[in-house]
């Protein structure tokens, strides 16, 4: 499926606006999963890695852990858009690979099954918001043959 360049469009169709809303939505989705998992269902999101003290992952930690990769994903997509007409495909493959890899620390930490489930769901929530929006808003150099980015 060919991507159509959306550069130059204003308002709600702006890729920048859509991506910013996706980042905010990803953080909100992760915090919503945390709110259901910890305060409502009572899963204490405490994790421990070998040789370290247990850490309680509160709302602030969940928000930061959702925001940072979201912004890095946006930066990667923007960089790819400048160098390849396959930015959407490459970014999506990288994003899906990193989403899958993000479960490794969840599996590797010492925590209850409920805690691991909530953490895994936060990862899925972030990916479920970001990946489709970033893919949809990715521009293609082939759609704009005169572009010399």
pLDDT tens sequence across 16-59: 999 999 999 999 999 999 999 987 787 778 787 777 787 888 89
Residue 131: closest CA among 5, 29, 14? 29
Contact 30, 126 (CB under 8 A): yes
Can you give the pLDDT at residue 16?
A: 93
pLDDT of residue 2: 45
- 9: CB partners within 8 A, 6+ apart: 15
Roughly what angle, to the nearest 10 degrees, separates helices 113-137 and 15-35? 170
pTM, to two decimals: 0.80
The residue ranges of every structural domain in the chain are 14-143
Element housing 83 (H / E): helix 59-83
Contact 24, 34 (CB under 8 A): no
If you compute the radius of gyration of the chain from its CA atoms, what whole number of angstroms results? 18
Task: Work out the mean pLDDT of the chain and round it to a whole number.
Answer: 85
pLDDT of residue 143 exceeding 70, the answer is no
């Amino acid at each position: 499926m060919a991507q159509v360049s959306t550069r130059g469009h204003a308002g709600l169709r702006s890729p920048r606006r859509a991506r910013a809303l996706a980042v905010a939505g990803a953080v909100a989705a992760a915090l919503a999963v945390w709110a259901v998992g910890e305060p409502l269902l009572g899963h204490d999101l405490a994790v421990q890695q070998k040789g370290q003290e247990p850490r309680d992952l509160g709302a602030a930690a969940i928000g930061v852990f959702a925001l940072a990769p979201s912004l890095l994903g946006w930066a990667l997509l923007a960089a790819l858009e400048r160098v390849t007409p396959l930015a959407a495909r490459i970014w999506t493959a990288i994003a899906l690979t990193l989403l899958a890899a993000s479960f490794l620390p969840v599996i590797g930490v010492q925590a209850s099954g409920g805690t691991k489930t909530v953490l895994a769901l936060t990862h899925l929530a972030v990916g479920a918001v970001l990946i489709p929006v970033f893919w949809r808003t990715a521009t293609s150099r082939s759609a704009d043959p005169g572009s010399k980015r």
